[in-house]
Chain A
Amino acid sequence: MTRILWVAAVMGLANPAPSHVVASLEYQVKAAMLYNFTKFVEWPVESPGAADRAVTFCILGPNPFGSALEELLEGKLVMGRPTRVHHAAELRELSRCHILFLAGSEERRTPEIVRMLRSASVLTVGDDERFLKLGTVMAFSVREGKVRFTVNTRAAEAIALRISSKLLKLAITVESGRPGAEM
């Protein structure tokens, strides 16, 4: 992974990038997918952060998207509500997120985060497949050079997220959180 990132960086598509730098194509696609996921997921009425009118996209860890996510969401409504991108610094802020992207570096903290969010309906999305066995609801993977994603339906049910069958059809679905079930 390190190598891939660095080659991406060398190639002028640096990825742990300052916001003015263009994200790599991989992360542009992942950003667009994050946005797309929100169309196929129903959050319980009361949470998360019901007080917040805006649908919140959170990023934890070094931001690989550059400004791609912000640019993508500009002028877009999700569930009829405006959107917001939040670069989370502290764990306690996370329960206010609708969708939380966990950067690769956050693997170690993930079990703790998942535990903490047990009662908050946050759609957690890990950067790569390692995250699945750590209990996130979704995780990206790159297969045959293309971005794929996995859904842990049990984890989704546990926090009352309803994921549309359309999304599940496209996903590499994992029923349980059994470690390495698919890999």
Chain B
Amino acid sequence: MRRRNSVDNPTPSVGRPALAGLVLFFTAAWQARGNGLGDRNLADASLEELMNIEVRSVGRKSQKLTSVASAVYLITREDLRRSGAASVPEALRMVPGLQVARIDASKWAISARGFNRRFANKMLVLVDGRTIYNNMYSGVYWDQNDVPLENIERIEVIRGPGATMWGANAVNGVINIITRSSSDTQGAMVSTGAGTEDRGSAFVQYGGAVNDRLHYRVFGKANNWNHLSSPGGVGSSGDDWRQRRGGGRMDWLVSQRDNLTIHGDGYTGSASQSSFANFPRQTSGPTLREQVAFDGSYLLTRWERSHSEDSTTALQVYANQENRREPLGDARLQTLDLDLEHRYHRSARHDVVFGGGFRRLKDRIRSVTRVFDPESRTDHLASGFLQDDVCVLPERLILTVGTKLLHNSYSGFEVQPSVRVLYAASPEEQFWSAVSRAVRTPSRRDQDLRIRFDLPPQATPLPVVGQFGGDPDFGSEKVIAYEAGYRNLFHRRVAVDLASFFNRYSSLESVGAGQLFLEPGPVPHMVLPIRVGNKNHGHTYGVDLTSTWSLNSRWRVYGNYSWLRVNISNTGNETPFLSQGGISSSPVAILFSEVTGSGRDPQHTVQVRTSIDVTPGFGVDAAVYRVSKLQGVNIPGYARADVHVNWRLRGGLMLSAGFRNMLDPSHREMLSEGSISGSEMRRGPYVKLTWTSRSAQDEEQSAPDRRPAGHE
């Protein structure tokens, strides 16, 4: 599961266009800008600067069209800086075809191609090859994974299955966050900001070098996030949160052939949230303020050896532990993961990559009501994969075939093959198509959850308790995805990328209510079991249009549109008892909608962004988003507009400021999840000041125009 860190970035340290091809495709029209030299010409760059420009992917794999014969989008460091986003989830809004909806201040629902919800279980998310997809709940705790934006080299987003290379749960997409090598973050950096969203934040980092082969950095970060608005837009939603994080990284070029990277972070934080007091009987009415606390740490080591230009082996090991205290119970998760991969250029026609991995997950959930049964579990996951890129017609046609075989404790063996083909009609114009199979493997929640709740008074002689639970027989959800895409770069000014898909799902999660039974005890009562199953199926289809228009070297306009249809049948939901009218259905219906999670995907999403360099040191960015209503959960459509300016001052200071959500005082983006009452987005300003030391500026290549050094 998981797969390589980045579409391929054998040296995680070195951020390289894993999707190099694509980036270049989109940046060809303004290459000089993409090289970090701003508007300056390469001719004026010094040797040191030239040596810092990334010209090629490290990994052969990264050059491969596996990464290109799919719908990919890349967020660069420049994009991050120019977006004014305060966190990774917020930055992801710019990705076409990715639905980003904030539930409350610390919770987001992020998914591509449908099935969006807080625990978006069909989206795999990785940070430097380490999965942050939580296998207890099948989703990502974004609050716990607040990667400092300052250290992100790029974020690659693949829409569509990435399971062959990346592992299970990459059913609808993969988000791959790649952090910068410590050799690229030398010097000191301090930044601080505040605004409506962010009550106050601070980031401090120092990067140094032991010698020219061994670089390191250490950082500390603290954020104090403000609450959003309560539903209806009046007052606070009581969902403020805070976290502190510290970490470091070391990149060591041990020899010409060996590269060693070690990094780790530790964090602690807490979040407030508002919950419906009478959930699941009611999803309205009075709310309670609850506290969530989390902490955790990880350590990752990656060793790479190049045997020759054509062959590389990488070994990666990481350990992760996290604790989370939720109202429902306290969860502790420990992960140990080992991955080995080897890639080689077998001949002019074949590039092969294969590998294997092993993961051990150990958890323990403590709660008064024993919401998980068993409370502690150790699971294993073993996987192997093989992929071959075949050059069928040189410079024209590339065929990629591969498969992943994995075994996990929940659903046994899973096979996830894919076939991709890319045809280049000309250097500027490409067509691609793919067919793949991917699975969403069961999580702890799907098999072991057990929540009891009182049902409203019934016509039955005894009180009835609902028991919502997982099923030990719950299996994987499956998809067969058909994709096709087209890209063209017109006159090196307008880049257009069209990606379409048709996904056929089977064995989707369903809910079934069983037969009432009597539970004797001090207070005898009836129990209505409600269990998840795999009886739903359906299909989704849609198109994403991505375009970038470079008006001149200082002005770019981005226009994206996504159209998405989700047709999931709920016929698999079995509600015999309900249909007989025996039990008031409201809480059960609520749970049903939770489980199937359908109807939370907008049919239309439009975004227009523009990025202007008014002067080399002063840039203005603006973005407008329009998201259509979420039909199934009654969230009206909304529009959002943000502006951001950044201004390079003297002495290594950078000032940025902006205004978010300018169009309305507040709006809702997603229906509350579970008992969470949810919040509305607020409008408001923010400001941020960043100082970088001289050496860090050099790394940033943002120093004032330095003339190349002459003869000594």
Residues of chain A whose beta carbon lies under 8 Å from any beta carbon of chain B: 1-4, 6-7, 9-14, 21-22, 24-26, 28-29, 31-33, 35-36, 39-40, 42, 71-73, 76, 142, 144-148, 164-167, 170, 182-183
Given A33-B50, A165-B712, A12–B28 Cβ distance below 8 Å? yes
Residue of A nearest to B427 (CB): A12
Tell me which residues across on chain B come within 8 A of A167, comparing CB atoms: 47
Contact A32 B42 (CB under 8 A): yes
Residue of B nearest to A76 (CB): B43
Contact A146 B712 (CB under 8 A): no
Taking a contact as CB atoms closer than 8 A, the residue among A28, A42, A145, A148 that contacts B42 in the complex is A28
Tell me which residues across on chain A come within 8 A of B28, comparing CB atoms: 11-13, 22
| Given A22-B31, A170-B48, 12 further pairs, Cβ under 8 A | A2-B394, A9-B427, A10-B398, A11-B24, A12-B28, A13-B24, A22-B492, A25-B24, A25-B35, A33-B47, A71-B43, A170-B51
Task: Tell me the smallest distance from the CB of A25 to a CB of chain B, in Å.
Answer: 5
Q: How many A-B residue pairs have CB under 8 A?
A: 135
Given A7-B63, A166-B712, A145–B46 Cβ distance below 8 Å? no
Given A39-B710, A182-B256, A14–B31 Cβ distance below 8 Å? no
Bitwise interface map of B from 427 to 448 toward A, beta carbon under 8 Å scored 1, else 0: 1101000000000000000000
Tell me which residues across on chain A come within 8 A of B50, comparing CB atoms: 29, 32-33, 36, 147
Q: What CA separation (Å) do A2 and B350 show in the bound complex?
A: 11
Contact A13 B51 (CB under 8 A): no
Q: What CA separation (Å) do A144 and B182 show in the bound complex?
A: 13
Tell me which residues across on chain A come within 8 A of B395, comparing CB atoms: 6, 9-10
Tell me if B3 is interfacial: C-beta within 8 Å of chain A: no
Residue of A nearest to B396 (CB): A10
Bitwise interface map of B from 699 to 710 toward A, beta carbon under 8 Å scored 1, else 0: 000000000111
Tell me if B494 is interfacial: C-beta within 8 Å of chain A: no
Taking a contact as CB atoms closer than 8 A, the residue among B20, B25, B65 that contacts A12 in the complex is B25
Contact B56 A11 (CB under 8 A): no
Tell me which residues across on chain A come within 8 A of B15, comparing CB atoms: 145
Taking a contact as CB atoms closer than 8 A, the residue among B51, B55, B256 that contacts A25 in the complex is B55
Given A3-B351, A7-B64, A22-B28, A145–B21 Cβ distance below 8 Å? no
Tell me if B57 is interfacial: C-beta within 8 Å of chain A: yes
Q: What CA separation (Å) do A7 and B64 show in the bound complex?
A: 7
Residues of B within 8 A of A (CB-CB), count: 58
Tell me which residues across on chain A come within 8 A of B309, comparing CB atoms: 1
Contact A145 B712 (CB under 8 A): no
Contact A3 B391 (CB under 8 A): yes
Q: What CA separation (Å) do A47 and B43 show in the bound complex?
A: 26
Tell me if B409 is interfacial: C-beta within 8 Å of chain A: no
Task: Tell me the smallest distance from the CB of A171 to a CB of chain B, in Å.
Answer: 10
Residues of chain B whose beta carbon lies under 8 Å from any beta carbon of chain A: 11, 13-17, 20-22, 24-25, 28, 31, 34-35, 41-43, 45-48, 50-58, 60, 63-65, 181, 256, 259, 309, 345, 348, 351, 391, 394-395, 398, 422, 424, 427-428, 430, 489, 492, 708-712
Contact A7 B51 (CB under 8 A): no
Residue of A nearest to B423 (CB): A10
Pairs of residues from A and B, 8 with the lowest C-beta to C-beta distance, nearest first: A26-B55, A145-B16, A144-B14, A11-B21, A32-B42, A12-B427, A72-B43, A10-B424
Q: What CA separation (Å) do A31 and B47 show in the bound complex?
A: 11
Tell me which residues across on chain B come within 8 A of A10, comparing CB atoms: 21, 65, 395, 398, 422, 424, 427, 430
Tell me which residues across on chain A come within 8 A of B55, comparing CB atoms: 24-26, 29, 142, 145-147
Task: Tell me the smallest distance from the CB of A19 to a CB of chain B, in Å.
Answer: 15
Taking a contact as CB atoms closer than 8 A, the residue among B11, B17, B51, B398 that contacts A147 in the complex is B51
Contact B21 A148 (CB under 8 A): no
Residue of B nearest to A39 (CB): B710
Given A25-B31, A25-B35, A145-B55, A11–B427 Cβ distance below 8 Å? yes
Tell me which residues across on chain A come within 8 A of B398, comparing CB atoms: 10
A–B complex contacts, Cβ < 8 Å, 13 sampled: A7-B21, A10-B430, A12-B428, A24-B24, A28-B42, A32-B50, A33-B47, A71-B43, A144-B16, A145-B14, A146-B14, A146-B53, A146-B55
Task: Tell me the smallest distance from the CB of B53 to a CB of chain A, in Å.
Answer: 5
Q: What CA separation (Å) do A11 and B309 show in the bound complex?
A: 21
Q: What CA separation (Å) do A101 and B125 show in the bound complex?
A: 44
Residue of A nearest to B389 (CB): A3
Of A12, A21, A183, which is in contact with the most chain B CB atoms at under 10 Å from its CB? A12
Q: What CA separation (Å) do A124 and B636 show in the bound complex?
A: 67
Task: Tell me the smallest distance from the CB of A39 to a CB of chain B, in Å.
Answer: 6
Contact B51 A72 (CB under 8 A): no
Given A7-B63, A32-B50, A39–B56 Cβ distance below 8 Å? no
Q: What CA separation (Å) do A164 and B22 show in the bound complex?
A: 38
Tell me which residues across on chain B come within 8 A of A142, comparing CB atoms: 55-56
Task: Tell me the smallest distance from the CB of B579 to a CB of chain A, in Å.
Answer: 57
Task: Tell me the smallest distance from the CB of A83 to a CB of chain B, in Å.
Answer: 11
Contact A26 B391 (CB under 8 A): no
Given A13-B427, A147-B53, A4–B63 Cβ distance below 8 Å? yes
